[in-house]
Structure 1
């Protein structure tokens, strides 16, 4: 029986053994699969691929079974807004284009529920298999994503796939083409961290704002989000979900750019009026990382040690900011330091990973395997090496024990 307070997502003619997912729950379809029922009100991310899924995995009723293959391949996807009230959203498979296209909407009274899997469809996990996502994961990962944000960043129809490009490539940064609407590309904020100073800056100002990303952070928020700081966090969430669900490279690059910009915003970090933003930024990063499949997490960690480097910068800037605003004889506020400590603790608990700051200037960085099977990311801390390019002698190295 249909639920009058939810939505049905009807999927017509999707070939068996296709990959199908909603809100990070990924399945392999069976011959009887016709969609998802009981979808709660709100925004949802649907994705699919015709490529074969798990051989023979058709589920108890020939509908869907969890995709435990670990492989992704090319996927397409789209966001939908479920309004509830018994509505039926219909997508029909187009064999010529290998796409799910919008079809005429139906009413709940005309839908045969046979072949509809409940949201979220889950089968008992296999002992020892990788943790499967929960509905709470998607909620944590999309707290700041709004319809307005999807309209601004996603192509017409809120579609995004593995190969969907972004306007924020190097050529468009140079030509200014990023302001031109395009219905086929992602419109993430155009952020050039190599030119992060105000127009007309010279000399000392260029040096200052090259190191401190506070100006470009505030400029990005004003230009693309009408001054709404939390909307930038929504963009960060959307970029990461594009990576997790459909392996979109533009999303990955946008995520890294925003993370680097925020972690290096020295003046903003030291400003009390920005404190709530940085606390929520760390909330978002923690949710993203602990909800990430372990194999993907390790890829992220090992990508030029990007994560370790940025958290190192964040720690340094928080410490410097607390010191600069401290009253003589009074212990400085440690709200941001405590939140960062909690983030690092969460990574340790989720993946047995530790990120530590050790040693003095030029102490080097790398991975150290522990006897208990865990790993520690070791990164040197010191003021001098922050002025050096992370190449050559001080480039990231892998430490083998």
Structure 2
């Protein structure tokens, strides 16, 4: 493993070697990319894993090096969230057929304990200088969160396998979708796209994110209530919390971190979409925010650490399309920096706003687009002339 940290006090290293957890990876193809938490390296011929891993939650990620004739390329990334105990040994074998790291039984892993000393030269030390960064990104994620959100298959894929919803091997199946009996070629791109079968992600590979509310207001809401709940999303956020985190609103922050790690370190675009959706709810729920100062103090801390991991121009293209991040944070600051907010949270929010203005050159003083007149889509059947 090239680039691993070796500058550590010998006595501390010896203590960590026996007290920390050990991850053993056997058979990883040379030249592949391997990482744990915020670190990644290229796998060398002697690589067998990572030692001195601090107990707790970790995210292991890898991209296998594939050879196609004389050329070679690195495949899409696969990640695994792990919760490690003190002195635990976790053994995974490389499965070349599926190109996956497959966990070995605990008994097999325990048999390696007597061989740890001989394995030492082949284990890279966990880079402790990056631990603070990882903890700041995963402080709310625990073993229970991993069990709830990680896919049933245990792996988080940057590009998960998809399957057609129907086989369409029979003529009648193709007829239902207005497809020709025989493939006569496509006359246009549009026709080609229309002939593609409907696809769905392979069962068990889906990240089990909370489903965001489709409706922002309650049933039978009046036009005034529809407008109110479309501007202040506290009702929608309350529905999300009641469905997924009853009585434990702080746990939504773990999902906010989990989705960001999936995106940042796992290269999972779905993670970004979930992070964006959760952030939108949290930042536009004024009534809820003013009632939960402790939760929003944590929201600020989480966003501070998350945005510290991206370059200053990271959101430029995204922001230029719909101005999502700046406008969303602008709404958040509009009530967290107001006199009605908790004093300590207001002070923290103002410092965070100043930090973002300096780092990203974002303007939070301009009137947000949310202040423009809102056209509310009334429920079907409403008489808007009444």
TM-score range, shorter chain: 0.7 to 0.9
TM-score normalised by length of structure 1:
0.70
Residues 92 and 103, structure 1, Cα contact 8 Å, conserved in 2: yes
- Equivalent residue for 1:118? 125
- Equivalent residue for 2:191? none
CA pair 227-121 structure 1, distance change in 2 beyond 3 A: closer
CA pair 285-8 structure 1, distance change in 2 beyond 3 A: same
Residues 76 and 161, structure 1, Cα contact 8 Å, conserved in 2: yes
- Per the TM alignment, residue 343 of structure 1 is displaced from its structure 2 partner at its CA by 1.7
CA pair 247-298 structure 1, distance change in 2 beyond 3 A: farther
- Please give the per-residue CA displacement for 1:251-270, whole angstroms capped at 9, x wherever unaligned: 10000001111111021233
Matched, 1:7 2:3: no
- Equivalent residue for 1:146? 142
CA distance in structure 2 between the aligned counterparts of 1:250 and 1:237, rounded to whole angstroms: 13
- Per the TM alignment, residue 278 of structure 1 is displaced from its structure 2 partner at its CA by 1.1
CA pair 226-382 structure 1, distance change in 2 beyond 3 A: closer
- Equivalent residue for 1:101? 102
Matched, 1:335 2:336: no
Q: How does 1:259-270 map to 2 (within 5 A)?
A: 259-270=279-290
SS at 2:45's partner residue?
A: coil
The match for 1:74 among 73, 76, 99 is: 76
- Equivalent residue for 1:354? 361
Q: Decide which structure has the larger Cα Rg and report it.
A: 2
Runs (5+) with no aligned partner, structure 1 = 53-70, 123-133, 167-181, 326-331, 359-378, 390-401
Residues 209 and 215, structure 1, Cα contact 8 Å, conserved in 2: yes
CA distance in structure 1 between the aligned counterparts of 2:286 and 2:161, rounded to whole angstroms: 31
> In terms of mean alpha carbon deviation, does 251-260 or 207-216 score higher?
207-216
- Equivalent residue for 2:295? 277
Count of residues paired in the alignment? 311
- Per the TM alignment, residue 159 of structure 1 is displaced from its structure 2 partner at its CA by 2.0
CA distance in structure 2 between the aligned counterparts of 1:73 and 1:336, rounded to whole angstroms: 44
SS at 1:270's partner residue?
A: helix
SS at 2:208's partner residue?
A: coil
- Per the TM alignment, residue 190 of structure 1 is displaced from its structure 2 partner at its CA by 0.8
CA pair 116-299 structure 1, distance change in 2 beyond 3 A: farther
CA pair 333-242 structure 1, distance change in 2 beyond 3 A: closer
CA pair 27-163 structure 1, distance change in 2 beyond 3 A: same
- Equivalent residue for 1:214? 234
- Equivalent residue for 2:167? none
CA distance in structure 2 between the aligned counterparts of 1:5 and 1:311, rounded to whole angstroms: 42
- Per the TM alignment, residue 357 of structure 1 is displaced from its structure 2 partner at its CA by 3.0
- Per the TM alignment, residue 121 of structure 1 is displaced from its structure 2 partner at its CA by 7.8
- Equivalent residue for 2:210? 189
Residues 78 and 157, structure 1, Cα contact 8 Å, conserved in 2: no
CA distance in structure 1 between the aligned counterparts of 2:226 and 2:354, rounded to whole angstroms: 37
- Equivalent residue for 2:85? 83
- Equivalent residue for 1:17? 31
* Structure whose residues are more often helix by fraction: 2
> In terms of mean alpha carbon deviation, does 333-342 or 248-257 score higher?
333-342
Alignment RMSD (CA, Å):
2.8
CA distance in structure 2 between the aligned counterparts of 1:222 and 1:232, rounded to whole angstroms: 11
Residues 20 and 55, structure 2, Cα contact 8 Å, conserved in 1: yes
CA distance in structure 2 between the aligned counterparts of 1:51 and 1:228, rounded to whole angstroms: 43
- Per the TM alignment, residue 10 of structure 1 is displaced from its structure 2 partner at its CA by 0.5
Residues 217 and 262, structure 1, Cα contact 8 Å, conserved in 2: yes
- Per the TM alignment, residue 189 of structure 1 is displaced from its structure 2 partner at its CA by 1.1
CA distance in structure 2 between the aligned counterparts of 1:288 and 1:28, rounded to whole angstroms: 25
Matched, 1:41 2:62: no
- Per the TM alignment, residue 217 of structure 1 is displaced from its structure 2 partner at its CA by 1.0
CA distance in structure 2 between the aligned counterparts of 1:356 and 1:385, rounded to whole angstroms: 17
TM-score normalised by length of structure 2:
0.73
- Per the TM alignment, residue 297 of structure 1 is displaced from its structure 2 partner at its CA by 5.2
- Equivalent residue for 1:56? none
- Please give the per-residue CA displacement for 1:257-291, whole angstroms capped at 9, x wherever unaligned: 011111110212333xx111111111111110012
- Per the TM alignment, residue 102 of structure 1 is displaced from its structure 2 partner at its CA by 1.0
CA distance in structure 2 between the aligned counterparts of 1:242 and 1:183, rounded to whole angstroms: 17
Residues 344 and 355, structure 1, Cα contact 8 Å, conserved in 2: no
- Equivalent residue for 2:275? 255
